[in-house]
Structure 1
């Protein structure tokens, strides 16, 4: 490059084009973002006399985006496409619309809790910065994993996710990417190219093995009740007997409840899969649940969540104390950690969700079949929008049979209790 070229490049200052983190990046203003302009990472550019300059391609792209914004500001056009034609981002948006249409045809509706746990939305936070405006046909395996020759370190999307979060998160993201690639292939975005991520094994992380014992859960419930966390105490007792996940527990209402001779039964659809489930409780958990409901300073409506926080002594504008609010995901986890630490100390890391696994350990030790346990945990039943008609006597009997096997297994586990806590 000549001296004159160097001089010209130094004088060429392009709006919103910045050098940050050893890369040139396009940083739109807050007014530009509602119109589809996004923070975009470009190339490393070129180095001349120790100074960093954007490449010709980076400059062209930035100038093009600025021209589009100028047209919008001047009223010549109202908006710009969210993604370039033929890009991964465009295919992703089409895939989301297709998934939504599929749910509508099945009569399903995605709740806020389901949306917050949607693997596609979660994975896109990692995929968008790397592949959002990229042509799928230009993506190579090295974008996911490569060895940097100078440092000898692994680079790419996979090491980035594993370092920032976990191997479980990496497995989820790559799983969604491969499902997205299948759709992109069907919609003609890949031009016959095979998924480049298939050259890398997407192994799963080791599953959790932590379990609770009945005695430990009883101690937690008593501790929570004495500390004023009555809603949490009832929630833990319900979790232990019903083997429902925390997200399902938080949505339980009195309108879903019926009773038989052995205790309460909740008829619901699991939040994650929308499959029909029956959450059965024994007499002791039912008694604790009834005591908690009776202790509430107000009457629960049939469609109102049962389990609530301790409330607050502070007053509202009307001069009344703040009422206990329904448990949220974060609040339930926080209160559980408070009670767990008070009972078992800071070294304890087991979670409320581990009680679901603990029930399976008991039932298996008592001789329950895998099919019966699956029925109890609602992971093989067909989806139904009319839940009350789904729970026929056969299903309830199967669920109660698993409860019986759990009691038998619990007795066996007590007799063969190891020297250290499981």
Structure 2
């Protein structure tokens, strides 16, 4: 039986229609690890410019299509035993991870995308101050202060988890010797008139969902993510007004707010 070409899994649909098992297609930077897991692996120079390693799951067109259609997820536990990648995969299977708020898990996952290409296949004890300093400096140059700050924050939290797994020395994270640059605080201020004009502009341009998000955010002071996640089930009626009862994403505390008559009409429309 002809060998299946791994490149087909990443080819455009137009190319896949004419693909034949005996075709020899070599996709640049596509590599296979452990004989069956595919990765798009940039060169060190590309990583420095901001490119990232991408896990493509089990190699082969059928597995790739299953992943694209949501029927299968890529393996997360394909790293060497007791490596940093293995430790993170183990942590994501623990109840401690599952009990974290969704936004916190999202922050970890975003930070992990910048840790994985550099350190995932290494033991935690092999990560030195020099390696972390070089990694952080590259992130600052390629991604800026905000991304570098969040990536370092994820590393420090993950180090504590790995220390709990007895994979490294507790309270000896070498990154603590690096002084992080802190992102500038948010300083933008809007007046009610500006908010109203933004709502009207979005509505007239056809972005009616966005108009409602802006209006509800102005009335409630909810964060954008809290507003975007609102559903009709959370709407509650009072004597003359109605509003939303939610559980705040980060704190987990309940909050109830009412909407102004203008925003009520907007959302109902």
Q: Is the 8 A contact 1:265 1:278 kept in 2?
A: yes
Q: What SS class does the counterpart of residue 144 from structure 1 fall into?
A: helix
1:216 aligns with 2:194: yes
- The 1:246/1:34 distance shift into structure 2, 3 A limit, reads farther
Deviations 1:200-241 (A, max 9, x none): 112421111001100111122223333333333233211110
Per-residue deviation, 1:192: 6.1
Spell out the pairing of 1:4-403 with structure 2 (5 A cutoff). 29=31, 35-36=36-37, 82-98=78-94, 101-102=95-96, 110=102, 114=103, 118-145=106-133, 156-191=134-169, 194-261=172-239, 263-290=241-268, 292=269
- The 1:271/1:34 distance shift into structure 2, 3 A limit, reads farther
Q: Normalising to structure 2: TM-score of the pair?
A: 0.67
Give, in whole Å, the separation in 1 of the partners of 2:183 and 2:176: 18
Which runs of 5 or more residues in structure 2 are unaligned? 1-28, 45-74
Aligned length: 213
Give, in whole Å, the separation in 1 of the partners of 2:219 and 2:35: 48
- The 1:218/1:189 distance shift into structure 2, 3 A limit, reads same
Equivalent residue number for residue 66 of structure 1: none
- The 1:266/1:34 distance shift into structure 2, 3 A limit, reads farther
Larger C-alpha radius of gyration, 1 or 2?
1
Per-residue deviation, 1:34: 8.0
Q: Normalising to structure 1: TM-score of the pair?
A: 0.44
Which runs of 5 or more residues in structure 1 are unaligned? 1-26, 44-78, 146-155, 293-422
